[in-house]
Chain A
Amino acid sequence: MHHTLVALVEDKPGVLNRVASLFRRRSFNIESLTVGRTAEPGISRMTVVVDSDQTSADFVTAHLYKLVNVLEVEDLRAVPAVSRDLALVKVTVSGNGRSELLKVVDETRAHIVDSGEQTMTLEITGEPPHVDAVIQRLDAFGIIEMVRTGRVAMRRGDTVLSAAR
C-alpha cells in the first residue's frame, strides 16, 4: 500500500537533508519524494509517498513534525486528493513501429516531446497507475531511457493546506 504525505517546510539550507536523514535513520521505506517551491515565499512543499506496508504513515508524520523546519504535515489518506506523476520515456522506433507508437500515444493521452532518427521521447502525465499502465504498453517498443518525478498531490475542493504561521 502507498500512502501520500505532504509537508510544508521552511526553505532553508539543509532542510531536504534533514528529511532524508530522518528517513534513513528510522529506516522509513519511501517510494518517492519530491520537493518544490510553493506560492508562499520561503516555503517549500514536499510530497512523500510511503510504503505503508513497511512503515506506518502516522509514525512518519510524528517524526516529520519533530523536525523544527517542518511547518505542516498533511495525510492525504484522510481527504480526497488529486495526484499526478510525470514520466519522460525515450523509446526506440523503427519502420512501421512508428505508426504503432503514434496509436498508443493517441490512446493514452501521452505527448511526443522530441523525436530523433531512431527514438521518440514521450511525456506521460497522470495518476501514477495511469503512468504505470502507459509505460507497460511502451515496453513493447523498447524503452531505452526513462525518468519519473514521483507523485505530487493536492487536496480536492476549496480548502487548502497552508503553513500555520
Chain B
Amino acid sequence: MPKRTGAQIIWECLVHQGVQTVFGYPGGAILPTYDAMLEYPVHHVLVRHEQGATHMADGYARASGRVGVAMATSGPGATNMVTGIATAMMDSSPIVCITGQVPSKMIGYDAFQETDICGITLPITKHNYLVTRVEDVMPAMKEAFHLAASGRPGPVLVDVTKDAQQATMEWEWDPRPVTMPGYRQEVPVPEKAFAKALELIRTSQRPVILAGQGVIQSGATRELIEFAERLNIPIAVTLLGLGGVPASHALNMGMMGMHGEAWVNHAIQEADLLMAFGMRFDDRVTGNPATYAQNAKKLHVDIDPSEIDKNVKTDAAIVGDLRATLRDFLGVLEPADHSPWLGHVNGMRGDAAVRDIQQLPDDGHLYAAHVINDIWRLTEGKAIVVTDVGQHQMWEAQYYHHESPRTLITSGGLGTMGFALPAAIGAKMACPDAEVWVIAGDGGFQMTQAELTTAAQEGVKVNIAVINNGYLGMVRQWQEFFYDRRYAATPLRSPDFVKIAEAHGLPALRVDSRGQVEDAVRRAQASTDTVLIDFRVEQEDSVYPMVPAGADLHKMIRRPGPSVLAETGADPL
C-alpha cells in the first residue's frame, strides 16, 4: 500500500467523491492540505471571505443536487463559516466544510487560532467530526459526504488537526459503502399510516397540496404533477418549493404564506385537507398557528420524523422519501373530481385586481416588480435566479415565474443577507451552461460584494441586478407598518455600484427608468463578463400582500388605494 499523509487522504477522498470544485481560503492550520492540493485534479476557488466559500458551496449544491465543498483554516477561518453553515442547515443544503485545527496536543490550551469549531457548529450542522489521527481521516470524510447528501440533507463539518494532516499511513481507498449504526435512513411506512392517509385523501372535498423543497430534493416533480392532475387538486408552494412545480401549470396557485398570493392563503384557510409534501410549516407559512387552516385535516409527508407534529398537529403522517410515497399513492389512488372546489379557488384569483403589471403605463417610476418581471420575460423564465434577502427577494418570488426545479436559489430559513452573490458564483460553477442572475438589494449586496473579485478572478459569468432602493427595504417596510414610520437605521447610503464593478474590472450599467430595463438586461446577457446593473428603483415601495408576523393567515395587509402596481405576478406569456 502506498504511503499517504492525512492531507493527501483528504484530497483522495474528495476525488473519490467526485468533487471537482472546492471553495476555500488557506491559513496556518490547513496549510498541509493546501500544499497537497497541487497534486490533485480538483479546482480550488479562492474566495474573499470564508462566508463566501460556504455560500458558494451551498449555491453549488442547490443548483446541482451534488454536495458542495468549502475549506478554511482554524480559528477565524472556521468562525467565518458559521453563517454559511447555519444557512445551509436551515435550508437542508448538502455541504461539507473542511477546517484545519491546531495540533492535537495543543487543543484546549488556547493555542494561536484555536477555536472549538465543533462545539460552535454543533447545533448548526447535521453532524461534525474532530479528526485527530490520520487513520480517522477517510472514515470521517466518507461519512461526511454520506450524511450531507442522504436523508434530509444538511451541512457536515470535518475539523482536522494539523498533525493528523501531516502524519502518514499506508493507505488505500476503501470502496465499501458507509455503515453507521446510529444513522437510520428509511424506516418502512406502517400500513395503518398509509391507510389513514388514503382515507383522508379519498374523503376530502376541498384539498390543497402544500409543496415544499422536499419536492425538489426528492426529485418528485413528475410524480407530484401526476398526483395533482389525477386527483384534481390545487397546489400551493413554499418559497423554497418554487420551481418544484411549473409556475404555468394550471393547478399551481403560487406561493403561500407571509407574502404569498391572497387567494392562495384564502384557499388554505378554507381547505378541508392540507397535504404537506416536503415542507415544515414554518411560521412564515402558517401565520398564527392557532387559526391556521382550522377546518383542514393535515396529512404530512416528510423525510424527517422530527418535523411531524412539530409546528402543526397532523391527522396522518408518512415519514419517508416523497417521491417513493407519491408513487405508492399513485399505485392505488383512482382519479377524483374536485371541480366545484377548483372553481371556487379559481374564482378567488380575480381578487388580485390588477395582476398584469405589464399592462400598466410607464409613469416614469421604476418599480422593483417591473424590473424582476422584465428579467423573467427576457430570460424566458429559464435562468437560475439567486436572490439575497429582503423585499427584492419576495418580489422575485412573486414576479419571476419558475418553471423547473433548482432555478430559484434563496436563503429561506435563515434569511441570510449577503447570500446571493457567492451562492450565484457557486451555482454557475455547478451549472456552467445556465444563465445565472443575482437579484440582490443594495444592503445585502454590500455584505459580500468582495466576491466580485472572485468572479472576476475565476472568469465566472453571472448577471447581477442590484435592486437599489436606498433602504434596508424590508426592515423599512416593517417600520412603516408596525413602528409608526420611524426609520431607525434603515436609510442606506451606498457606494457607486457601477464604479465598484468597474474597479473589479467588470462592466456595469445604471438604469433608472423602465424604458432602459430591456436594453440593459440584453447587454448583460450578451457580455461574456459578469455584468452588474444598478437598478435605481422606487424607494419606499412595499411588498404586498403581507401577513404580519404571527397574524392570522387570512388577515393580510393589502396594497392601499387604487393600485399603482399589481399585487401579484403577471400571467405567464
Whether A and B are associated in the same complex: the answer reads: yes
Asked whether, in the complex, the Cβ of A68 is within 8 Å of the Cβ of B180, the reply is yes
Asked whether, in the complex, the Cβ of A65 is within 8 Å of the Cβ of B305, the reply is yes
Contact of A163 among B119, B127, B181 (CB under 8 A): B181
Which B residues are CB-close (under 8 A) to A58? 309
Which B residues are CB-close (under 8 A) to A9? 182
Q: Select from chain A the residue with minimum beta-carbon distance to B310.
A: A59
Which A residues are CB-close (under 8 A) to B309? 56, 58-59
- The stretch that binds B, out of A17-25, A95-103, A137-145, A152-160, is A17-25
Contact of A17 among B122, B181, B305 (CB under 8 A): B122
> B184 interface residue, CB < 8 Å from A?
yes
A165→B306 CA distance, assembly (Å): 22
Distance between B326 CB and nearest chain A CB, rounded to angstroms: 23
Distance between B45 CB and nearest chain A CB, rounded to angstroms: 29
> B308 interface residue, CB < 8 Å from A?
yes
Distance between A23 CB and nearest chain B CB, rounded to angstroms: 11
Asked whether, in the complex, the Cβ of B182 is within 8 Å of the Cβ of A67, the reply is yes
Q: Select from chain B the residue with minimum beta-carbon distance to A9.
A: B182
Which A residues are CB-close (under 8 A) to B182? 9-10, 67-71
Asked whether, in the complex, the Cβ of B306 is within 8 Å of the Cβ of A59, the reply is yes
Distance between B294 CB and nearest chain A CB, rounded to angstroms: 21
A164→B184 CA distance, assembly (Å): 10
> B130 interface residue, CB < 8 Å from A?
yes
Asked whether, in the complex, the Cβ of A68 is within 8 Å of the Cβ of B147, the reply is yes
Q: Select from chain B the residue with minimum beta-carbon distance to A62.
A: B306
Which B residues are CB-close (under 8 A) to A10? 181-182
> B76 interface residue, CB < 8 Å from A?
no
Distance between B512 CB and nearest chain A CB, rounded to angstroms: 47
Considering only residues 69-86 of chain A, those with a C-beta below 8 Å from chain B are 69-71
Which B residues are CB-close (under 8 A) to A129? none
A30→B123 CA distance, assembly (Å): 18
> A111 interface residue, CB < 8 Å from B?
no
Distance between B179 CB and nearest chain A CB, rounded to angstroms: 10
Question: Residues 122-142 of chain B: 1 if any A CB is under 8 Å from the residue's CB, otherwise 0?
Answer: 110011001000000000000
Which A residues are CB-close (under 8 A) to B482? none
Most buried by B among A10, A25, A62, A70: A62
Distance between B185 CB and nearest chain A CB, rounded to angstroms: 11
Which B residues are CB-close (under 8 A) to A65? 184, 305-306
> A41 interface residue, CB < 8 Å from B?
no
> B183 interface residue, CB < 8 Å from A?
yes
A112→B310 CA distance, assembly (Å): 48
Main secondary structure of the interface of A (DSSP, over half): mixed
Which A residues are CB-close (under 8 A) to B130? 13-14
A69→B184 CA distance, assembly (Å): 11
Q: How many chain A residues have a CB neighbour from B under 8 Å?
A: 24
Asked whether, in the complex, the Cβ of B122 is within 8 Å of the Cβ of A21, the reply is yes
> B118 interface residue, CB < 8 Å from A?
yes
Considering only residues 104-158 of chain A, those with a C-beta below 8 Å from chain B are none
Which B residues are CB-close (under 8 A) to A69? 182
A68→B127 CA distance, assembly (Å): 7
Asked whether, in the complex, the Cβ of A68 is within 8 Å of the Cβ of B122, the reply is no
Contact of B308 among A21, A62, A71 (CB under 8 A): A62
Most buried by A among B119, B126, B182, B310: B182
Q: Select from chain A the residue with minimum beta-carbon distance to B308.
A: A62
Asked whether, in the complex, the Cβ of B181 is within 8 Å of the Cβ of A18, the reply is no
> A37 interface residue, CB < 8 Å from B?
no
Distance between B318 CB and nearest chain A CB, rounded to angstroms: 14
Q: Select from chain B the residue with minimum beta-carbon distance to A67.
A: B182
Contact of B122 among A18, A163, A164 (CB under 8 A): A18
Which A residues are CB-close (under 8 A) to B126? 68
Which A residues are CB-close (under 8 A) to B184? 65
Which B residues are CB-close (under 8 A) to A25? 123
Q: Select from chain B the residue with minimum beta-carbon distance to A70.
A: B182
Contact of B305 among A14, A62, A68 (CB under 8 A): A62
A68→B154 CA distance, assembly (Å): 13
Which A residues are CB-close (under 8 A) to B306? 59, 62-63, 65-66
Which A residues are CB-close (under 8 A) to B119? 17
Question: Residues 50-62 of chain A: 1 if any B CB is under 8 Å from the residue's CB, otherwise 0?
Answer: 0000001011001
Question: Residues 1-42 of chain A: 1 if any B CB is under 8 Å from the residue's CB, otherwise 0?
Answer: 000000001100110011001100100000000000000000
Asked whether, in the complex, the Cβ of A165 is within 8 Å of the Cβ of B122, the reply is no
Asked whether, in the complex, the Cβ of B118 is within 8 Å of the Cβ of A14, the reply is yes
A21→B119 CA distance, assembly (Å): 9
Which B residues are CB-close (under 8 A) to A66? 304, 306
Most buried by B among A66, A71, A165: A66
Most buried by B among A58, A68, A70: A68
Q: Select from chain B the residue with minimum beta-carbon distance to A25.
A: B123
A-B contact pairs, 28 of them (CB 8 A): A10-B181, A14-B130, A18-B122, A21-B122, A22-B123, A25-B123, A58-B309, A59-B306, A59-B309, A59-B310, A62-B305, A62-B306, A62-B308, A63-B306, A65-B305, A65-B306, A67-B182, A68-B126, A68-B147, A68-B180, A68-B182, A69-B182, A70-B182, A71-B181, A71-B182, A163-B181, A164-B181, A165-B181
A-B complex: 4 closest residue pairs judged by Cβ atoms: A62-B306, A25-B123, A68-B127, A71-B182
Interface residues of B (CB under 8 A from A): 118-119, 122-123, 126-127, 130, 147, 180-184, 304-306, 308-310
A sample of 19 more A-B contacts (CB under 8 A), given A21-B122, A58-B309, is A9-B182, A10-B181, A10-B182, A13-B130, A17-B122, A21-B123, A22-B123, A25-B123, A56-B309, A62-B308, A65-B306, A66-B306, A67-B182, A68-B180, A68-B182, A69-B182, A70-B182, A71-B182, A164-B181
